[in-house]
Chains A and B, each alone.
Chain A
Amino acid sequence: MDKIRALVAKEWAEVFRNRFVVFAVAFMPLVLTAIPLVILYSLAAGGEGPGLPLDDISLQLSALCEGLPASACGQYVIVTQFMPMFLIMPVIIPITIASYSIVGEKTTRTLEPLLATPITTLELLLGKGFAAALPAILATWGSFFIFVIGALVMGLQQAVIDKFFDPLWLLAILLVGPLLAVAAVSLAVMISSRTSEPRVAEQISGLLILPIVGLVVAQTTGFILLDTALILWIVLFLTLLDAGLIFFAIQLFQRESILTRWK
């Protein structure tokens, strides 16, 4: 565990010197949190109050409002539309960090002395994985916290605020986010093991964001509804996906071929 802790500390000291990484970890979450808050503020400033008439909301979406007073339903539906934003962060942030941390070891030629130490492949990948996933998870949770505070300040109804802490949101933020971060790290490790350019690794791994974007579109168009049941299915799917990706990431991280074939 000491080796993993040391590796995480080293990774953070190294990667956070890179301005792209700092942008991804600090700036992007702030932007993604600000967007829904600005929209809520605009609605509030529009005079209708920070809500929409229930009539404008499809029956399917109104199912989300179970237990909410009609006046709060509109607010909650709008806020829910932005929930996938909080799932984008745990994908983009670890991909950026992991891509730079692994390919970066290659470009600075630091990998060989590191691999010559008694560190195991599992310890190495866990260290790199934690270093990439933890900032993403913390940034996601921090953004959610800022979002809730912002919503309170904007005068969202207490019933809506309470809804943020129902199983739908808690599962999404506390479970789906970290699971997505693990998937993103594993994918970035796999790609990084096979490429020699951080940007290439980042771009290829970034394809993982497409399903999340699809989720946003599907929900906005009313094609699917993010409810607790769906989130549970996503949790199950991601758990299996993570297990598979971690397995393949370890298999593909061949010390010898990385040392001798990386040019």
Chain B
Amino acid sequence: MEADGVKIEAHGLTKRFDTVTAVEDLSFTVQAGEVFGLLGPNGAGKTTTIRMLSALVAPTSGEARVAGCRLGYEDQQIRRRIGILTEAPGLYDGLSAERNMAFYARMYDVADIPGQVEKYLRMLGLWERRHELVSQFSKGMRQKLAIARALQHEPEVLFLDEPTSGLDPEMARLVRGFIGELRSQGRTIVLTTHNLDVADRLCDRVGVIRASLLIMDTPRALRQKLFGRSVVFHLGGETAGLAGRLEALPYVQGVQAVETRLVVQLDEPEVHNPEIVRLLVAEGADVQFVGELRRSLEDIYLQIMKASEPNEHG
């Protein structure tokens, strides 16, 4: 039985290739309608994890349920219920876009093949070019066609392995926009990416892996966990002496003076910002702007990778 709203449950998934451990003791869940991002450096085991969950590669140990089906026991059912965009689009160059779609629709036993093919080719903006051979398509168009192919049998879970890899910025933006649309439709998506901006914009939660899971949470919670919340006070003049005054406040966790700015770490900026502003004004400072410092997911990722390095060599 599928747990309430849970589309993926992985417990202790491990994959070894001879002496190499690609994935070790990986456990996580993905809720229905959630976009979950798997981040990690090259060789971290992201693709292997997706291959295991897609029933393409058998785990060495551990267990998982995908779309309510038990991995290793109901693999055919899993394949039927998921859609996958592999790292390479893997399209047949000698066939038209429409024939590529129709071929895969047959592989998935789609009932209304012409209808579904048209629906998704239109959705991805490829309907007008449906008769063209895929060999004539640009990389971005191939990627869009591969996404359409992965969706046309209406899978319960969609796996996207590096969906924006190798695309120019414009095409990457288009693909990212489409994934955003899928997200708003409530699709359950697991994506791997090196593009942390994509993960930041699209993922409800991210898991950072390096063979095993290093950390997993929402991007916002990770920011708070690793860096706390920081507020920047832009002042009209010198900050001398002000940093010390703020540090004396019991709720301030740290203060950094950078030119005419004060970066203050706080737990609850909504509560304490007004008090700090009053104090700064009382001290004669001209407060020009106040804003929360938003750490990028890249900052978070690099911090996690840095912290995990001793383990890697240990």
Contact = CB atoms under 8 A, between A and B. Distances in A.
Interface of A: 2-3, 6-7, 9-10, 13-14, 17, 108-120, 255-256, 259-260
Nearest to A255: B56
A114 B51 CA distance: 13
A14 B92 contact: yes
Contacts of B108: 117-118
A110 B134 CA distance: 13
B107 A111 contact: no
B111 to A, nearest CB: 12
Interface string B147-173: 001100000000000000000000000
A113 B95 contact: no
Given A116-B82, A118-B108, A256-B56, 9 more contacts: A13-B92, A13-B99, A14-B94, A108-B90, A109-B90, A116-B84, A255-B56, A256-B58, A260-B17
25 contacts: A3-B106, A3-B107, A6-B102, A7-B103, A10-B92, A10-B95, A13-B92, A14-B95, A108-B92, A109-B86, A112-B86, A113-B104, A113-B146, A114-B90, A114-B107, A116-B55, A116-B56, A116-B86, A117-B79, A117-B108, A118-B76, A118-B79, A118-B109, A255-B56, A259-B56
B295 interface: no
Interface of B: 17, 51, 54-58, 76, 79-80, 82, 84, 86, 88, 90-95, 99, 102-104, 106-109, 146, 149-150
Contacts of B106: 2-3, 6
B86 A108 contact: no
A67 B79 CA distance: 62
A255 B150 CA distance: 20
A7 to B, nearest CB: 8
B107 A13 contact: no
Contacts of A111: 90
Contact of B51 (A10, A109, A120, A259): A259
Contact of A110 (B79, B91, B109): B91
Contacts of A109: 86, 88, 90
Contacts of B103: 6-7, 9-10
A119 B109 CA distance: 10
A110 B107 contact: no
B19 to A, nearest CB: 14
Given A108-B90, A260-B17, A117 B104 contact: yes
A260 B107 contact: no
A188 B210 CA distance: 39
Contacts of A10: 92, 95, 99, 103
Nearest to B57: A256
Contacts of B56: 112, 115-116, 255-256, 259
Contact of B107 (A6, A9, A17, A259): A6
B94 A17 contact: yes
Given A2-B106, A256-B57, A116 B79 contact: yes
B84 A113 contact: yes
A22 to B, nearest CB: 13
Contact of A118 (B51, B80, B84, B92): B80
B171 to A, nearest CB: 19
Given A13-B95, A259-B51, A113 B79 contact: no
Contacts of B58: 256
B57 A259 contact: yes
A3 B79 CA distance: 15
Contacts of B80: 118
